[in-house]
Amino acid sequence: MDDRQRRALRRAAQMLSRVAAGDDPTVILDALAQCVPTVAGLLSVVRRDAPQLLISHAMRLPTELLEGWMSTSSEHLEPALRLVLEASPGGFWRDADAIAGPLRDGLEVLQALDAFGLGEGAGYKVHQRMVPGRGTEHVMLALLTERGTQFPTAAPLLMEALVDDVRDAVHRASLPLVASRSILSQIVEEQRLGYICLARKSGAVLEVNQRALDLIARYHAGRATQSRGALLDFVSSAQRLTAGGGSWQVGHPDRFAALEVHVHVLPKETHVLHEDVHLLSMREWSLPSNLRPCRAESSPILEKLPERKREIALLLARSSLTYKELAYQLHISPNTFRTHVQHIYSLLGVQSRAGLTKLLNDRA
């Protein structure tokens, strides 16, 4: 290592030491750029036992590339993640050297870099830690250069020397996935939940987990494929919907499943973030098979009701569960359920659940 590189290393370490809670996490990239020509990055949390829980936080990375990374098929993604699992903290590998042949061809996101003015990529193992009840978490920072710019041959040595500084800076920075006082830590534990973090002002995608990508693919425009642009379309719709309320649902064509999206506002002051963040938590619910009304069950009486209310009417008549229990099964609030029930009674001219049951049984 020559004197110039030592000076660059000192500057990078000084900049990393000044990263504090509430700072924009991209300052980590600015610090690393003192040693390696990094212009964009992606911080990912990987677990060996649960690859479906992949979480990634974008740093100056176009949403299309973030989606491409998260949507990579498991047969190509898992070998790439194996590099993270097997590396030691401070490990640095250029994608051109470590990801080659069929594996590189399968990672479409690498082929898309050129279109966004980006070129060479590298993986950097930040740290690994044991988390009670979850096993070992591995944290990787993917680094990208400008198109035509290569990482210097001394990059592995320089990055290894910075590993402690980078690890500490990541923990101090305002990343939703590690912010200690964020409600996000509770949500990440729930495998059934997907989440997306959006910058409240710009609407840029900051962070997403694999479950969110899977749910968007399942419900995006009624298609069950992971098409490119699905994340962008979903985020665009979310920005319109969040202005009018804190939650909404997207029904599935089978009528017995739906995607429920809740919007949580994470103020920067409360959650130690550098900007206000919209957290979209996404849960898929499906009606248990024993509560699903038979599609053949119909009558002229039921034709008076909209489809959702028709389903609720049949559940009221065929189930002994309470309003609260049925609301829980449908993942709606008890008040919303009661509103549906009152509308059903009004439309059918009955006064009670017993009256509804008798009416449907008499006309069956």
In whole angstroms, what is the distance from residue 292 CA to residue 61 CA? Answer: 44
Residue 179 located in a structural domain: no
User: What CA dihedral angle connects 177, 180, 182 and 188, to 10 degrees?
Assistant: 50
Statement to judge: residues 139 and 7 lie in one domain? yes
Domain end, chosen from 242, 265, 286, is at: 286
Q: Where are the beta strands (DSSP E) in the chain?
A: 40-47, 55-59, 92-94, 118-131, 135-146, 193-199, 205-209, 247-251, 257-266, 277-286
Which amino acid is residue 116, in one-letter code?
F
Statement to judge: residues 201 and 243 lie in one domain? yes
Q: For position 358, which CATH number holds?
A: 1.10.10.10
109 near 65, Cβ under 8 Å? yes
In whole angstroms, what is the distance from residue 82 CA to residue 59 CA? Answer: 22
Statement to judge: residues 125 and 57 lie in one domain? yes
Q: Which residues pair with 262 in a beta bridge?
A: 247, 281
Residue 300 located in a structural domain: yes
Please provide the DSSP assignment of 2-67 as one string.
-HHHHHHHHHHHHHHHT--TTS-TTHHHHHHTTTS---EEEEEEEETT-GGG-EEEEES--HHHHH
Residue 178 located in a structural domain: no
pLDDT tens per residue across all 364 residues of the chain: 789 999 999 999 999 999 987 788 899 999 999 999 999 999 988 887 765 567 888 999 998 888 888 877 777 778 888 888 899 999 999 887 877 777 777 777 888 888 899 999 999 999 998 877 667 889 999 999 999 999 999 999 999 999 999 999 988 886 766 544 444 555 555 556 788 888 888 888 888 888 888 888 777 644 434 456 788 888 887 777 665 457 777 776 656 677 888 888 888 887 778 888 888 888 877 665 555 554 435 567 777 888 888 888 888 877 767 787 777 777 788 888 888 998 999 898 888 887 887 787 665 5
